[in-house]
Chains A and B, each alone.
Chain A
Amino acid sequence: MYDLLIIGAGPAGMAAASTAAQHGLTVAVLDEQPAPGGQIYRGITETGPRRAVILGTDYLEGAALAEGLAASRADVIQGAAVWDICTGIPFTVTYSCNGAPAHLNARALILATGALERPVPIPGWTLPGVMTAGAGQILLKASGVLPENAVLAGSGPLLYLLAVQMARAGMPPLALVETQSRADLLRALPKLPRALRGWRTLLKGMGLLAELRRHGIRRYQGAKDLAVEGRDQAEALSFSVGGTRHRIVAGTILLHQGVVPNTQITRALRLDHLWHAGQRAFLPQTDDWGETSQPFLFVAGDGAGISGAKAAASAGRLVVLQAAHRLGRIDSLLLEEESTTDFRALSAERSVRPFLEAAYPVPASILKPADTTIVCRCEEVTAGQIRGWARAGAMGPNQLKAFGRPGMGPCQGRYCGLTTTELLAEVHGTTPATVGLARLRAPLKPVTLGELAALHPKDD
């Protein structure tokens, strides 16, 4: 039995694990990827000097966290996909590693499972050749593979970062097609003064924009009606700017509209969630320390609300301090002393978010796509079908199951859940908060019968 189990080895999980070990807690970290790093620092322990130059100094900050993790006494189990959790004291976490299931027990549990790309349902987004911008980054970070002749489309700072990284690698994208407009920027300006507390982040963004210009990468802003064309493979991206239709021939189209918290586990555990209107996503409800409605269960990092990698590391340290305190390992004096810096850092990082959310809003046509657009990739359900079922009486996502199978494929609604909720809210003239998200059940990842059989009670 461990004092603490951490799921996820991104900045939040890595920082949490080394802090826990420093305070003498016994700790194990489970992560489904082959190496620590999470999404932002993917492949950080395996990156050679050439790739380091392409990825930039921000990426290299992950090395310190990874070294901290390696130097700690935490047991790190990579390639471990968690698919079931039993709450209570102790918590029991079930995972599979190379097809072999196993479980671990702990007195406290930290979920540091990060974010997912927000779905970008536009015509043709299911075609081979269409990927998320995050996927483009993962290809580069973990494999050193990049697409030639790609178009980047959508909005948000991650698109600038990826474009710059591609240019540094000698394969700049053909164009950056952005959905936000000048009007959005003007609307965001009142939020700028508060955002100045996080001036480092803003400065970095401006640096990226300057580098984009230096590389001569073509930018379109205020793009509307994005559509991927192609029969069996993406062939072009078409879009309108100010009434003119454009078409860029490209075999790879990388889409992005920001990231949203990965709530698979917190929802399966039936924890309380809140609708965040700025992020247009659901977040698990926690106190200031990251403890959820379930005692001794904490959420840290982007999984608790999108605040970025620096904030994730701070939150990872803070939840561990509070967990150590709750387990009686550190007194309140030490708790306060050790947490001041990270609380301050967290609040500075978070102050930039309202500005970014306003400057890079998700277009209504992407939140609530046209009838013919596929919403649920797994079961090929369109927005029109969901609207139809809503009009036929489905009030919430769980009732849709009486009509069809949206959200019931292997991805378990990861890339359609939010869109489905927005569409139901639109038809019923209510808010996403009222509609809610679909209920989830373990296993959180498809497991084989063999894996389930191997966990038969008599083997326990």
Chain B
Amino acid sequence: MKPVFRNLDDGPQVLIRFDGQEISLPEGANLAAALLAAGISRFRGTMVSGASRGPFCMMGACYDCLVELDGVTRQACQMRVEAGMDLRSGGADV
């Protein structure tokens, strides 16, 4: 079953890209929460086996929500949505 996350609030949306796919997300929202609500569950593959991972702790502790922005690997749960972000799923470790 696909996970479905629903957003209780609504606000102005902006466009971002995730692995080339254009997605509309609420501006200023927590990035990991917004991506989940947009139907994205796989944020990265692990270094060791390439296994899929997505947000686990939402508090900056587990590093499973890594994404790449402008060549820098960062924790999506510690970022906010900004218009025009060009994100890639985090392949490797930090």
Q: Which residue of A lies closest to B63 (CB)?
A: A410
Q: Is A128 an interface residue (CB 8 A)?
A: yes
Decide yes or no whether A337 CB sits under 8 A from chain B. no
Q: In the complex, A32 Cα to B2 Cα: how many Å?
A: 32
B62 within 8 A of A: yes
Say yes or no: is A147 at the interface (Cβ < 8 Å to chain B).
yes
Residues of A within 8 A of B4 (CB): 147-149, 251
Given A171-B6, A378-B93, CB of A145 within 8 Å of CB of B37: yes
Q: For the complex, what is the distance from the CA of A430 to the CA of B56, rounded to whole Å? A: 32
**Is B61 touching A128 in the complex (CB atoms < 8 A)?**
no
Residues of A near B53 (CB, < 8 A) are 126, 128
Cα–Cα, bound, A410→B34 (Å): 23
Known: A39-B59, A135-B55, A380-B48. A250 touches B80 (CB 8 A): no
Residues 37-94 of B contacting A (Cβ, < 8 Å): 37, 41-43, 46, 48-49, 51-64, 72, 78, 80, 93-94
Residues of A within 8 A of B93 (CB): 378, 409-410
User: How many of chain A's residues have a CB under 8 angstroms from any CB in B?
Assistant: 55
B30 and A142 within 8 A (CB):
yes
Which residues of A (120-169) have their CB < 8 Å from a CB of B?
126-132, 134-135, 138-140, 142-150, 169
Chain A's nearest CB lies how many Å from the CB of B65? 10
Q: Which residue in B29, B46, B52 is a CB contact (below 8 Å) of A380?
A: B46
Q: Are B9 and A32 in contact (CB under 8 A)?
A: no
- Complex partner residue of B60 from A81, A232, A377, CB under 8 angstroms: A81
Segment of A87-95, A193-201, A233-241, A267-275 engaged in the interface with chain B: A233-241
The residues in A between 157 and 210 inclusive whose CB is less than 8 angstroms from any CB of B are 169, 171
Instruction: Please indicate the chain B residues that have their CB under 8 angstroms from the CB of A33 in the complex.
Output: 60
B59 touches A135 (CB 8 A): yes
| B41 contacts A128, C-beta separation under 8 Å | yes
A250 and B4 CA atoms in complex are apart in Å by 10
Q: How far is the CA of A116 from the CA of B57 in the complex (A)?
A: 9
A48 at the interface (CB under 8 A from B): yes
A32–B78 touching, CB < 8 Å: yes
In the docked arrangement, what's the CA distance between A54 and B8, Å? Answer: 11
Residues in A with CB closer than 8 Å to B59 are 39, 116, 134-135, 138
A39–B61 Cα distance when bound, in Å, is 12
Residues of A within 8 A of B29 (CB): 143
Q: A149: which B residues are within 8 A, CB to CB?
A: 1, 3-4
By beta carbon, the residue of chain B nearest A255 is B56
B21 interfacial contact with A, CB 8 Å: no
Residues of B contacting A: mostly: loop
* Closest-CB distance, A236 to chain B (whole angstroms): 7
> What residues of B have a CB within 8 angstroms of the CB of A377 in the complex?
56, 62, 64
Once the chains bind, are A409 and B34 in contact (CB under 8 Å)? no
* Residue A279 CB within 8 A of the other chain: no
- Asked if A134 contacts B72 (CB within 8 A), the reply is no
- CA gap between A81 and B63 in the complex, in Å: 14
Determine how close the nearest CB of chain B comes to the CB of A229; give it in whole angstroms. Answer: 11
Instruction: Please report which residues of chain A, range 44-96, place their CB below 8 angstroms from some CB of chain B when the two chains form the complex.
Output: 48, 50-51, 54, 81
Instruction: Please report the C-alpha to C-alpha distance between residue A34 and residue B49 in the assembled complex, in whole angstroms.
Output: 33
Q: How far is the CA of A157 from the CA of B94 in the complex (A)?
A: 35
Whole-angstrom distance between the Cβ of B40 and the nearest chain A Cβ: 9
A234 to chain B: closest residue by CB: B3
Task: Determine the chain A residues whose CB is within 8 A of the CB of B94 once the complex forms.
Answer: 410, 446
| B41 x A129 contact (CB < 8 A) | yes
Least distance between A143 CB and chain B CB atoms (Å): 4
A342 adjacent to chain B (CB < 8 Å): no
Cβ of A340 < 8 Å from any Cβ of B?
no
> Nearest chain A CB to B73's CB is how many angstroms away?
9
Q: Which residues on B sit within 8 Å (CB–CB) of A127?
A: 52
**Do B8 and A169 touch (CB < 8 A)?**
yes
> Measuring CB to CB, which residues of chain A are less than 8 angstroms from any residue of chain B?
32-34, 39, 48, 50-51, 54, 81, 116-117, 126-132, 134-135, 138-140, 142-150, 169, 171, 232-236, 249-252, 377-380, 409-411, 414-415, 445-446, 448
Question: Could you pull out 17 A-B pairs where Cβ atoms are within 8 angstroms?
Answer: A32-B60, A34-B80, A54-B8, A117-B57, A138-B58, A142-B33, A143-B29, A143-B34, A144-B9, A145-B5, A145-B33, A145-B34, A145-B37, A148-B4, A379-B48, A411-B63, A445-B60
Give 20 A-B pairs besides A32-B60, A145-B8, A146-B6 with Cβ atoms closer than 8 angstroms. Answer: A33-B60, A127-B52, A128-B41, A128-B42, A135-B56, A142-B30, A143-B7, A143-B29, A143-B30, A143-B33, A143-B34, A150-B3, A169-B8, A171-B6, A252-B5, A377-B64, A379-B48, A380-B48, A415-B56, A415-B57
Counting from the closest, the 6 A-B pairs by CB-CB distance are: A128-B54, A251-B3, A143-B33, A135-B58, A144-B8, A410-B63
